[in-house]
Structure 1
Amino acid sequence: MDIKTASALRRLRLVSAPEAVSFLLLLVCSVLKRTTEFNAVPVMGWVHAVLFILYLVFWADAWNRAKWSLKTAALYFALSVVPTGGFFADRRLRREAEDAVDAAITARPGEEGTVNA
């Protein structure tokens, strides 16, 4: 895995959990708007919209660089529209990055601690 691919996956990971949190907060704000006088939906709507757009941009970049199959790319997209899906995306992306590092280390036998970049 080259450095640009690793960076693309890292960016997607970094935005996936905050996007999931903002989605959950937006749902809570929507319920509160309908049951109380509290209305934070406009603010949380903007926050979630910005994070969702960032997720989509980083998702497209990661798909392009990591050469994901259509099934994998669709899974990460689906996780972005499901509440708490960003947490699962973060976990899968972390595992994918760790597997890539392990593969790079084993690709160069006898040189422990080095990674092909």
Structure 2
Amino acid sequence: MRLENQIRTFRWVSILEGISFLLLLFLAMPLKYFFDKPLMVQIVGMAHGVLFIAYLLGAFWMYKPLNWQPKTLLVVIACSVVPFGPFYVENKYL
């Protein structure tokens, strides 16, 4: 796969993971705990879990092609657990 395609793929995974995390935190969780509607957490939570794993695998997949330092890889991984973190990665490192 060409580098441009790898970057494009990881960029999309990063954006989707970030959106799913925000939906989980700011839509699904309030619905569950304030309105007793847990279904959204199950749906968004599953999607977020899959995208989270894809993001982590993608970070390791991009490590060598983009010549990231180990510190950069750690920052990219740490951003996966911070709201808006994947958007920062997408803008700064891709």
Interval containing the TM-score (normalised by the shorter chain): 0.7 to 0.9
What is the identity, as a one-letter code, of the residue corresponding to 1:64? Answer: K
> Is the alpha carbon distance of 1:63 and 1:12 closer, same or farther for their aligned partners in structure 2, counting shifts above 3 Å?
same
What is the identity, as a one-letter code, of the residue corresponding to 1:57? Answer: L
Name segments (4+ residues, structure 1) moved above 4 Å.
none
1:8–1:62 contact (8 Å) kept in structure 2: yes
TM-score, scaled to structure 1: 0.71
Gaps of 5+ in 2: none
- 1:70-113 deviation line (CA, Å, top 9, x unaligned): 1111111111111111111111134xxxxxxxxxxxxxxxxxxx
Distance 1:85 1:74 in 2: 12
What is the identity, as a one-letter code, of the residue corresponding to 2:59? Answer: W
Alpha-carbon RMSD across the aligned residues, in angstroms, is: 1.5
Moved more, 23-32 or 42-51: 23-32
Identity %: 35
Distance 2:33 2:13 in 1: 29
What is the identity, as a one-letter code, of the residue corresponding to 2:37? Answer: F
TM-score, scaled to structure 2: 0.86
Distance 1:38 1:74 in 2: 36
Gaps of 5+ in 1: 95-117
Distance 2:5 2:66 in 1: 10
Give the greater-gyration-radius structure (CA).
1
Q: How does 1:4-23 map to 2 (within 5 A)?
A: 4-23=2-21
What is the identity, as a one-letter code, of the residue corresponding to 1:79? Answer: C
